[in-house]
């Protein structure tokens, strides 16, 4: 046997992840460019300090305090007018929404089962499928990256996936799902789960409701969220979901005991107390995004409409050469999406000037 005795389907595969290059302007992983205020950082540091007094003990396996705070946050800030609350038993958190979704596939995927999404879509989804030996089925988006709802329903009804993964807004295209899509696909999925990945939901335009509002109507609906993007806590590694309590109970069977460290729980709890401040730059970032879309179009480029904190643009005969040219000028963006397209995350106004200057030099 060839050493190391790795699973055959993993042999020779590069680890997932954007290049982590030391450049002045990093616009490649859709982070929030604004760090926490001194007051928030102090509060987080105090919470960590407090947590260190009991670091000889394992943390709360069920992370009840954090789930309670997340449930209150969702009920207060996201579905306050819908006449229902999200309870602690409907919320589950893990180390980033990546881990939440991996746990979902551990519990609901597996050999002989299928996971499905519509390309172009978030490139980690097939990795969760591969790592849980779940069959991966890929449907397709329309030319303008929207979801053709009739075709999507037919695909779901034909393939009968155990898990449908629907990012809204989608990464890497920035496209939000229309409000009618989620309910329709929950019905088409029958007993399968429909996971609406709302990693970028805070950046969406007015008038596109969150899928959270549909939770009371669809038991097979799972909404995942993250503190990594709008919430400006990518380094804290906290993602979570809201769903039927039976779905959380199923995940509790597959999760590693104590998967969320005491430090992570403390950081997330303290950060949630500063939610309005951490989310305070979302409007600025939306404006900067819209300006970026307009500017790229003025340069004669093709640009996808975006409801997120990034913009997909193209098309380039040699996108790698352009990407490298930008890196050489100190600006790191992402080679992702269909051939010929590039994605830029929205940064501070100064970072966006650096991006535009570098692109003008390279075009
Ligand atoms: N979903 C989507 C669509 C994403 O783009 C990302 C991060 N790039 C994630 C989930 C995972 O983010 P995290 O694990 O930091 O929550």
What pLDDT does 80 receive? 75
Instruction: Kindly report, residue by residue over 273-327, the tens digit of the pLDDT.
Output: 999 999 999 999 999 999 999 999 999 999 999 999 999 999 999 999 999 999 9
DSSP H stretches of helix in 146-238: 149-159, 179-188
Percent of the chain residues topping a pLDDT of 90:
94
Cβ–Cβ under 8 Å, residues 292 and 352: yes
What pLDDT does 124 receive? 97
Decide whether any atom of ligand 1 lies within 6 Å of the 226 Cβ: yes
Q: Which two tokens stand for residue 266?
A: 């403390």
What pLDDT does 230 receive? 95
Instruction: Kindly report, residue by residue over 139-174, the tens digit of the pLDDT.
Output: 999 999 999 999 999 999 999 999 999 999 999 999
| Predicted confidence (pLDDT) at residue 77 exceeds the cutoff of 90 | no
Mapping DSSP to helix (H, G, I), strand (E, B) and coil, where does residue 311 land? strand
What pLDDT does 161 receive? 98
9 upstream amide cis, omega within 30 of 0: no
| Predicted confidence (pLDDT) at residue 34 exceeds the cutoff of 90 | yes
What pLDDT does 82 receive? 80
- 28, 94, 98: which to mutate for ligand 1, most atoms within 8 A of CB? 98
Decide whether any atom of ligand 1 lies within 6 Å of the 162 Cβ: no
The rounded mean pLDDT for the chain is: 96
| Predicted confidence (pLDDT) at residue 29 exceeds the cutoff of 80 | yes
Name the CA dihedral angle for 53, 97, 311, 330, rounded to a multiple of 10 degrees.
40
Whether this prediction's pTM lies above 0.95 is answered by: yes
Decide whether any atom of ligand 1 lies within 6 Å of the 288 Cβ: no
For range 23-47, the mean pLDDT = 96
Per-residue pLDDT band for 209 (boundaries 50, 70, 90) equals confident
What is the atom index within ligand 1 of the atom nearest the CA of 122?
A: 3
Decide whether any atom of ligand 1 lies within 6 Å of the 96 Cβ: yes
| Predicted confidence (pLDDT) at residue 226 exceeds the cutoff of 80 | yes
Tell me: ipTM over 0.85.
yes
| Predicted confidence (pLDDT) at residue 43 exceeds the cutoff of 90 | yes
What pLDDT does 350 receive? 98
For range 106-122, the mean pLDDT = 98
Residue 128 alpha carbon to ligand 1 centre in Å: 12
What is the atom index within ligand 1 of the atom nearest the CA of 171?
A: 3
Cβ–Cβ under 8 Å, residues 292 and 349: no
Instruction: Kindly report, residue by residue over 79-90, the tens digit of the pLDDT.
Output: 877 888 999 999
Instruction: Encode 243-269: b = buried (16+ Cβ within 10 Å), e = exposed.
Output: bbeebbebbeeebeeeebbbebbbbbb
Residue 3 alpha carbon to ligand 1 centre in Å: 33
| Predicted confidence (pLDDT) at residue 1 exceeds the cutoff of 80 | no
Ranked by mean pLDDT, the top range of 2-16, 197-211, 256-270 is: 256-270
3-class secondary structure for 221-267? EEEEEECCCCCCCHHHCCEEEECCHHHHHHHHHHCCCCCCCHHHHHH
Residue 197 alpha carbon to ligand 1 centre in Å: 8
What pLDDT does 206 receive? 83
**What's the CA gap between 329 and 138, in Å, rounded?**
37
């Amino acid at each position: 046997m060839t050493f190391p005795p790795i699973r055959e389907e993993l042999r020779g595969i590069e680890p997932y992840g954007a290049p982590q290059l030391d450049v002045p302007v990093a616009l490649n992983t859709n982070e929030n460019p604004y760090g926490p205020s001194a007051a928030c950082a102090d509060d987080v540091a105090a919470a960590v300090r407090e947590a260190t007094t009991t670091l000889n003990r394992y943390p709360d396996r069920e992370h009840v305090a954090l789930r309670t705070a997340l449930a209150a946050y969702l009920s207060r800030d996201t579905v306050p007018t819908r006449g229902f609350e999200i309870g602690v038993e409907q919320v589950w958190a893990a180390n980033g929404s990546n881990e939440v979704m991996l746990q979902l596939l551990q519990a609901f995927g597996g050999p002989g089962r299928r996971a499905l999404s519509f390309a172009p879509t978030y490139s980690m989804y097939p990795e969760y499928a591969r790592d849980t030996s779940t069959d991966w089925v890929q449907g397709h988006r329309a030319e303008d990256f929207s979801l053709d709802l009739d075709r999507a329903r037919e695909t779901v009804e034909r393939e009968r996936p155990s898990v449908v993964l629907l990012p809204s807004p989608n990464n890497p295209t920035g496209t939000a799902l229309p409000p009618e899509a989620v309910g329709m696909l929950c019905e088409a999925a029958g007993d399968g789960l429909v996971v609406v990945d709302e990693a970028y939901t805070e950046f969406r335009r007015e008038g596109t409701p969150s899928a959270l509002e549909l939770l009371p109507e669809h038991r097979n609906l799972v909404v995942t969220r993250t503190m990594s993007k709008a919430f400006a806590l990518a380094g804290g590694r906290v993602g979570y979901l809201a769903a039927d309590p039976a779905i959380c109970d199923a995940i509790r069977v597959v999760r590693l005991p104590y998967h969320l460290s005491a430090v992570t729980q403390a950081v997330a709890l303290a950060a949630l107390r500063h939610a309005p401040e951490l989310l305070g730059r979302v409007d600025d970032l939306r404006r900067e995004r819209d300006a970026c879309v307009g500017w790229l179009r003025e340069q004669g480029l093709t640009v996808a409409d975006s409801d997120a904190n990034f913009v997909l643009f193209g098309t380039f005969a040699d996108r790698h050469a352009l990407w490298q040219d930008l890196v050489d000028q100190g600006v790191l963006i992402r080679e992702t999406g269909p051939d010929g397209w590039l994605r830029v995350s929205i940064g501070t106004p100064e970072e966006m000037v650096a991006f535009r200057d570098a692109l003008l030099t390279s075009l």
